Structure 1
Amino acid sequence: MEKRTFKNKVYQQLANIVKGMSNPHRLEILELLAQGRFSVAEIAEETDMSGANASQHLQVLKQAQLVSTQREGNHVYYELAGESVYKAWKSLRDLGIERVAEVERVLRQFRESRQSVETLSSSQLADKMKHEQVTIIDVRPQKEFSAGHIAGALNIPVDQLSDKIDALPEDREIVAYCRGPFCVFADDAVELLSKKGFNAKRLDEGFPEWMLDELPVEYSSN
């Protein structure tokens, strides 16, 4: 194989991966699949797409070898093809926040529009956990919580928080987290908690980043 042929083949395959990710809906799907495996119907519901549209995007991701499938009965479930896929998505996201002014501006404006929402880093939360200074709530759906969560976290999906808020301690700091920095579940939770007089903050990232940093995690079958 000649040098130019070799390079063309290698770069084409890498370009196929980039092409597979080059759509906002597919990026959102990858972020969702970082939480665990989902069916087409579940992905469509979580991303506000039709089933047919979600299926088309999933096929592109599968052709780019970014997702894999597993059949159980009549259902096909999708998941990330490996941890390296999430690392690539996270690197792209972080690059966008760092280098694309519009991404940083939109994120900052959204946070500023919710003046009650304060954030803290994973290292800050880990330090508070060592000193038992905080109550952690995972506001993702129960299915995602069961697939993995921050050790010691309580699962209170954001759409159930209003009904369960009285069970939370009023004399402790509460930290809410969800899927990642672009997920708004935690922002909604902190805004509600702050209005009710709680000292609440959101984790600046999400569970996938926490796990990637090899911080304490737990799993549940409930």
Structure 2
Amino acid sequence: MAFVSEQWLLFSIVIVLVAVLLFIESKKGGKALTYHQATRLVNNGEGVILDVREKKDFSAGHIVDAIHIPYAKVADRLSELEKHKAKTIIVVDKMGQHAAAASKTLRDAGWNASRLAGGMAEWQAQNLPVVK
């Protein structure tokens, strides 16, 4: 605490820089959709779910009609999503850590992509349906 009170200017600069970093990193991931918004898009035929978790996690339970492409292979398998180019691709992972990067890859390639806020952890916490 003595350091903070003596070096309040430096401490303030560090806090501002951390806040700016968090803001910039959150924007890189693109728009995050709530489970309500994602469900509405899928039910209206305007969205499709892309699950980027590993095969064992996907097999343990996934959103109905989700397309499975592991995170590490998204850039190589974009052609599999070509028929969904007019729809919003809703990227889902375990808790949101890989969905942002996969969503950015899709947007850079020309897709309209968003990520599911909270990932499958939030989906399951809300007791929404999963299939195995």
Provide TM-score, normalisation by structure 2: 0.77
3-state SS in 1 of match to 2:53: coil
Q: Shift of residue 109 of structure 1?
A: 3.5
1:180 partnered with 2:95? yes
Identify which of structures 1 and 2 has the higher relative contact order when contacts are C-alpha pairs closer than 8 Å and 6+ apart: 2
Q: Does 1:209 align with 2:132?
A: no
Which residue is 1:170 aligned to?
A: 85
Which ranges of 4 or more aligned residues in structure 1 deviate by more than 6 Å?
none
Please give the residue correspondences for 1:1-222 in structure 2 after superposition, counting only pairs within 5 Å: 105=19, 107-112=22-27, 114=28, 117-168=30-81, 169-181=84-96, 183=97, 185-219=98-132
> RMSD across aligned C-alpha pairs, in angstroms?
2.1
Alignment: residue pair count: 114
Whole-Å separation in 1 of the counterparts to 2:23 and 2:64: 29
* 3-state SS of paired residue (1:150): coil
Q: CA deviation digits over 1:63-105, x for unaligned, max 9?
A: xxxxxxxxxxxxxxxxxxxxxxxxxxxxxxxxxxxxxx99x94
**Secondary structure of 1:217's partner?**
coil
Whole-Å Cα distance in 2 between the matches of residues 108 and 155 of structure 1?
A: 29
| Equivalent position SS for 2:122 | helix
In 1: Cα distance, 2:85 partner to 2:115 partner:
16
Partner of 2:105, secondary structure, is: helix
Greater C-alpha radius of gyration: 1
Provide structure 2 residue ranges, at least 5 long, that are not aligned to the other structure: 1-14
CA distance in 2, matches of 1:107, 1:147: 32
Q: How far off is 1:218 after superposition?
A: 0.9
Question: Structure 1-normalised TM-score?
Answer: 0.47
Structure 1 SS opposite 2:89: strand
* Runs of 5+ unmatched residues, structure 1: 1-100
Shift of 1:107: 4.4
SS in 2 for 1:149: coil
**Identical aligned residues as a percent:** 30
Going from structure 1 to structure 2, the CA distance change for 1:121 and 1:160 (only over 3 Å counts) comes to same
Query: What's the offset of the Cα at 1:216?
Result: 2.1
The Cα shift of 1:130 comes to 1.8
Secondary structure, aligned partner of 2:85 = coil
Q: How many angstroms apart in 2 are the aligned matches of 1:118 and 1:108?
A: 13
**Alignment partners' CA distance in 2, 1:118 and 1:146:** 27
